[in-house]
Amino acid sequence: MQEVAILGVGQTAVREHWDLSIRQLAVDAGQAAMADAGIDKIDGLFVGNMTSGRLNKQHQLGALVADYLGQWGVEAVKLEAACGSAGSAMRQGILAVASGEMEAVLVIGVEKMTETNFKETTAALTGAADADYEVIQGVTFVGLNALLMRRYMHEYGYTRHDFAPFALNAHANGAKNPHAMFREPITQKVYDKGRIVADPISLYDASPIGDGAAALLLVPAAKAPQAVRVIGSASSTDTLAIHDREDTLWLKAAELSAKQAYQQAGVGPDDIDLFELHDAFSIMAALSLETCGFAERGEGVRLAQAGEIFPNGRIPICTMGGLKGRGHPVGATGLYQIAEATLQLRGEAGEAQIEGAHTAMAQNIGGSGATIATHILQRPSSR
C-alpha cells in the first residue's frame, strides 16, 4: 500500500444557503479542491452524505456531482454512515489511492438541511438510531445524548456548568474561521443562561445543523512530496443502539479506530498537536478525549476546565470552531474536520493557526458512536 497525500482542499461556508442547491454546494467545494491541487481530471469520486434522499429528494449524488464537475465516466458513488458519512468517504478514497487502483481521487462531503421543517429534518436524523428499539420510543439524538450526559454527571460528580469550556472554546475558535456559522465568542454567563433543549443539554451544548460542502483531492504521496500526508486511517463500529453496549460511557469504536490509526502512524496521543473531534454535543467531546487517550476515564471535562483544550493548551480541539462553532452539516462534517486539520498543517489557518502544528488527528462520529473514522495527518517536514 502506498502513502496518500492531500493535494487539494475546498470548502463552502456553512450557512443557510437558500440560493444554492445540494449539487451546487458539492460542485463548488469540488472545483475549489481541484483548483487548489492543480488537477482537472480525476479517477474517482466519493461523496459523503446522509439525508439527500429524504430532505432533498435526490439519490445518485455520485453520478450527479461527477456530471456537473465535468468528470463524465469516472467511478462515483455516495456513501452514508449518518454523521460519519464524510469520514467514511475519506476512508474509501484513501484506500482507492493507497491500493494503486486510482491516482487522483476527489472526496466530497455535502449536506443541505435547512429548507425542510424542523420535524422533517429531525425525523431524517433519527434514521441513524435503531429504528426498532430506539426511534420507536420517540427518542431523538439530543435526547440520547442528554441521557449520556446525565449518566456521566452522575458517575463523575459534574454539573452542567462544568461542561462550559467545550462551548467557550468552540465559539472563540469559530470567530476566527470565515467559513463558520457562528463568528462571536460566548461567555460563561451566556453559556449558563442557555435554553435547555433536553435536560441537561442546553442550546450551547448542541451543534447546529447547516448547509455546506467540503472536499479533498487525494493523490499518491510520491507525486506530491510537499503535501500533507495521511499517516493513519481507520474506521470501526459499535452497536447502533446505546442500550446494547457493554459500557455506555465508553466509545468503543473511537478507541478501536484511534488505536489502529496510532499504530499505522507510529504515534500516540502525546504526539498529536491538535484534535478535530466530533463535538456534536459537549458530552461527545468529553468521551472522545477519554477514549482516544488524551484524558483518563471521567477526566475529559477536567481537561477542558484546566484550559488544555484551548489553542495554547496541551491538546487544542476544534481549532476552527468544531461542530458547535462552524456548524454541523452532518454528512459533510468529517471532511470539514480534515480540511481544517490540513490547513493547520499547511500553516494556512489564518487567525486560528496553531503555531508549530506538525501532526493532527480528526475523528468523525456517526450516530451516537456506531461508526467512527479516525485519521491522522502530518506535515512531511516532520517525518
Residues forming the active site = 83, 328
For residues 106 and 215, the answer to whether their CB atoms sit within 8 Å is: yes
Q: What is the dihedral of CA 250, 297, 166, 198, to 10 degrees?
A: 50
- Distance (Å, rounded) from C-alpha 366 to C-alpha 343? 24
At 255, the amino acid letter reads: E
C-alpha cell at 234: 481507520
Can the peptide bond before residue 200 be classed as cis, meaning omega within 30 degrees of 0? yes
Question: End-to-end distance of the chain based on CA atoms, in angstroms?
Answer: 18
> How far, in Å, CA of 280 to CA of 148, rounded?
13
Measure the CA–CA gap between 191 and 274, rounded to whole angstroms.
24
The 3 state secondary structure assigned to 216-257 is: EEEEEHHHCCCCEEEEEEEEEECCCCHHHCCCCCCCHHHHHH
CA distance 25 to 48: 13
Helix (H, G, I), strand (E, B) or coil at 132: coil
Residue 299 β-bridge partners: none
Q: Give residue 127's identity as a one-letter amino acid code.
A: G
Euclidean distance between CA atoms 79 and 63, whole angstroms: 12
> Strands, E, within the chain: which ranges?
4-11, 44-48, 75-79, 105-111, 196-198, 201-202, 212-220, 228-237, 274-276, 359-366, 371-378
Q: Which residue type, as a one-letter code, is found at position 295?
A: A
Q: Evaluate whether 244 touches 129 at the Cβ level (below 8 Å).
A: no
